[in-house]
Amino acid sequence: MSLTEEMKAVARRAKLASNKGARLATPDKNRALLAIADGILNGRDALVAANRLDVEAAEKSGLAPAMVDRLKLSPKVLETMVKGLREVAALPDPVGTVSRQWVRPNGMRVGKMRIPLGVILIIYESRPNVTVDAAALCLKAGNAVILRGGKEAIHSNQALGEIIRAALQAANLPTDLVQVLQTTDRTAMEELLKLDEEIDLVIPRGGEALIRYVAEKSRIPVIKHYKGVCHVYVDEFADVRMADDIVFNGKVQRPGVCNALETLLVNEKIAAKFLPVAAKRLHEAGVELRVCPETAKHLGGVPSKPATEDDWYAEYLELILAVRVVPSLEAAIEHIDTYGSHHTETIVTESYSRSQKFLRDVNSSCVFLNASTRFSDGFELGLGAEIGISTTKLHAYGPMGVEELTTEKFFIYGDGQIRA
What is the C-alpha R_g of the chain?
24
Q: Does 370 bind a second copy (CB under 8 A)?
A: yes
Q: Which of 1/420 has CB closer to a second copy?
A: 420
Q: Does 104 bind a second copy (CB under 8 A)?
A: yes
Residues 247 and 242: their CA atoms lie apart, in Å, by 9
Q: What residue spans of 61-102 are helical by DSSP H? A: 65-71, 75-90
Per CB under 8 A, does 352 bind a second copy?
no
Residue 381 has, within 13 A of its CA and on its CB side, a CA count of: 20
Rounded to 5°, the CA angle 164-168-169 comes to 120
At 349, which amino acid appears?
Answer: T
Question: Which range of residues in 19-27, 73-81, 264-272, 284-292 is near a second copy by CB under 8 A?
Answer: 19-27
Virtual CA dihedral for 18, 89, 161, 74, nearest 10 degrees? Answer: 160
x/- mask, a second copy, residues 178-207, rule CB under 8 A, reads: ------------------x---xx------
Do residues 302 and 283 lie in contact, with contact meaning Cβ atoms separated by under 8 Å?
Answer: yes
Query: Among residues 26, 97, 304, 392, which is the contact residue for a second copy, using CB under 8 A?
Result: 392
Check residue 174 for interaction with a second copy (CB under 8 A).
no
The gap between the terminal CA atoms of the chain, to the nearest Å, is 54
Tell me the per-residue interface mask from 253 to 292 with a second copy, x by CB under 8 A, - otherwise: xx--------------------------------------
Q: Is there a contact between 348 and 239 (Cβ–Cβ < 8 Å)? A: yes
Choices 36-44, 132-140, 178-186, 354-362; region in contact with a second copy by CB under 8 A: 354-362
Q: Is 374 in the site for a second copy (CB under 8 A)?
A: yes
- Using the rule CB under 8 A, give the single segment among 85-93, 146-154, 168-176, 370-378 that binds a second copy: 370-378
Sequence-separated (6 or more) residues with CB below 8 Å from residue 225: 211, 258, 341, 343, 388, 389, 390, 391, 392
Question: Does 239 participate in binding a second copy (rule CB under 8 A)?
Answer: yes
Considering only 9, 272, 285, 412, the residue that binds a second copy (CB under 8 A) is 412
Is residue 368 near a second copy by the rule CB under 8 A? yes
CA distance 167 to 42: 11
Window contacting a second copy (CB under 8 A); options: 33-41, 85-93, 278-286, 375-383: 375-383
Residue 22 is a binding residue for a second copy (CB under 8 A): yes
d(CA 77, CA 54): 15
Site size toward a second copy (CB under 8 A) is: 68
CB 196 within 8 A of CB 118: no
Q: Are 402 and 88 in contact (CB under 8 A)?
A: yes
Judged by CB under 8 A, the residue of 122, 246, 264, 385 near a second copy is 246
Residue type at 316 in one-letter notation: Y
Q: In sequence order, what are the beta bridge partners of 390?
A: 398
Using CB under 8 A, list all residues that contact a second copy.
19, 22-23, 96, 102, 104, 108, 110, 113, 115-118, 196, 200-201, 215-216, 219, 221, 239, 242, 245-246, 248-249, 253-254, 337, 359-361, 363-372, 374-376, 380-382, 392-395, 397-399, 407-419
